[in-house]
Homo-oligomer: A and B are copies of this chain.
Amino acid sequence: MRLSQMLFVTLREDPAEAEIPSHKLLLRAGYIRRVASGIYSYLPLMWRVLQKVSRIVREEMDATGAQECLLPQLQPAELWQESGRWDTYTQAEGIMFTLTDRQNRQLGLGPTHEEIITTLARDLIRSYRQLPQNLYQLQTKFRDEIRPRFGLMRGREFIMKDAYSFHSSEESLRETYGAMDQAYRNMFRRCGLQFRPVQADSGAIGGSASQEFMILAEAGEDEILYTDDGQYAANVEKAVSLPADAVESPFTSYERRETPNTPTIASLCQFLNCSPTHIVKNVLYQAVYDNGTTVLVLVNIRGDEDVNGVKLTNELTRQAPRYGAKTLLALTVPDGEAQAKWAAEPLPLGYIAPNLADGYIAPQPRVAPQFLRLADLTVLELQNFVTGANETGFHVMGANWGQEFELPAIQIDLRSAKAGDRAPHDPSQILHSARGIEAGHIFQLGLKYSQAMGATYTSESGEELPLWMGCYGVGVSRIAQAAVEQSHDQNGIIWPVALAPYQAIVIMPNLNASDQVAAAEALYGQLQAAGIEVLLDDRDERAGVKFKDADLIGIPYRIVTGRSLKEGKVEVVQRATGESQDIPLDQVVSTLQGWIAAALA
């Protein structure tokens, strides 16, 4: 393509709307333009990058035997009501755009397609003989994000590959899940990206096991914890670790003591001259379910640990049926005003006792909410511990489970793992922290959707059984930007060869030098004929502008028909290394072919 004929506009200044380097560069280099918050036009250069990512994704999916299809973006509300996700996606998370058609029917704009594909499977799959199946699509998806940001990283309209598999057994599901894991590793490797697969939380998609593929970059929104031995990596939302050993408590007899101005663990430790591991911290939350039920949740956790919001949300979602509800709508820490609805007297959160409910809920006419206690595993073995006294300015110490306080019935892992913790698989391994951009996520959904929507098959023995399901997503547009976030310098983008919109750019520095023009035109023709994707900068611009633009847009190989032309050579610069060499005219094509083949190997 000739730059003089392309819709090609670069900007000298960083646009004010962008915060992170990749967003700035994609705007400056003329790859994208913002239409509205989280909504972008992909200009011709960007479209080529997206097509390259898509092609790699397709090839890897096809290689596993998955079949491409295309499902609708407009999805009837009834299907989401059947699966039980309508409320979650339109209220609790509220990330689905909804609209009403002229027949007054409600539709959602698809953020994901479990409902549509499960309906299809219900219609099309009858017998175990048709299984397994794996269908995928590449498609624009929609999410009404609370805070769209970072360009294509968290957009409201974005391109994804999503795949859905159906199986007659969990074993078959695990097999396809494994094949997808491998296909995803291949995709990210072929895209030329530094990435890490990590254990992940399944969130609103649901199911059992799930794994994310993180593109490593400082600006990533996710924190990853991993060990050096490569045996463990997880999203911090999901990560587990061994807590530090608790120190033996010095408080060998039970007492209640005045502890003024000690609402925090630090202040309490200082006042009592004790370790945070001596303390049972009691953290109060307010959970609201979709049927209107409010539950006060008290988590008992060791003083040096923090509650992991994702783990807590998952547990409270699991508990929904206990309250006759389907979905958790909101989870907050109640302030004094919120507490005043039930408490005789609002209690600063630092003074709550494990048995808060006993002394806290006021008599009528105040409304007594439901009460739920959860113990994190770190408190189970504590003895002679310190904890709140249900009275401002007082704590108790030397307390023990089964004596002063009962342990809650629900005892689960609710703590946040963190960098520096010991790894569960090998205490000699320490968790390290890195930032990542979630660019892929694969799930073992199990029977969640097939049971809810009645998608069954007839087994070999004639039984009608629900289909086992998996689903597998890749953010195509997110990968494109993440590649820039991972690979750029002060001069612009440095595309991996596999994703670059063009592999090479031929620059004629001076349009008035006929030898430069002729050599550039000849090379441009030869490179095209050799199947190399090449730009020709034939614009009437200064050489410096052309060099700057070539660096900015990040084309891997820059060929300049300049001074060395009189020796029958051209300058070839590699964008990634900055390395420059003069190459004889008749060796340019073969040299580039060699480099490109090596880069794509």
Contacts and interface: CB of A to CB of B under 8 A. Distances in A.
Interface stretch (A73-81, A188-196, A563-571, A574-582): A73-81
A26 B70 CA distance: 15
A156 B101 CA distance: 10
Interface stretch (A4-12, A226-234, A374-382, A439-447): A4-12
Interface in A29-82: 30, 33, 35-37, 39-44, 46-48, 50, 65, 67-76
A494 interface: no
A124 interface: yes
A261 interface: no
A125 B33 CA distance: 13
A247 to B, nearest CB: 48
A518 interface: no
Interface in A175-198: none
Interface in A307-345: none
Nearest to A62: B1
A285 interface: no
Contacts of A540: 129
Interface stretch (A140-148, A201-209, A383-391, A395-403): A140-148
A468 B73 CA distance: 34
Given A36-B76, A36-B105, A71 B135 contact: no
Contact of A120 (B41, B94, B99): B41
Contacts of A107: 36, 97
Contacts of A42: 69-71
A83 to B, nearest CB: 14
Nearest to A71: B41
A103 interface: yes
Given A7-B124, A65-B5, A70 B99 contact: no
Contact of A135 (B39, B44, B135): B44
Given A35-B116, A116-B41, A130-B7, A102 B144 contact: yes
Contacts of A68: 44, 47-48
Given A36-B74, A37-B103, 18 more contacts: A6-B67, A7-B125, A9-B124, A36-B72, A36-B105, A36-B107, A39-B72, A42-B70, A43-B69, A43-B120, A47-B70, A48-B68, A73-B142, A74-B156, A97-B99, A97-B101, A102-B146, A139-B140
21 contacts: A7-B67, A35-B72, A35-B116, A39-B74, A41-B69, A41-B116, A41-B120, A42-B71, A43-B120, A44-B67, A50-B70, A73-B140, A73-B142, A74-B142, A74-B157, A94-B102, A97-B99, A98-B99, A102-B146, A109-B109, A129-B540
Which 3 A/B pairs are nearest by Cβ-Cβ distance? A99-B99, A44-B67, A42-B70
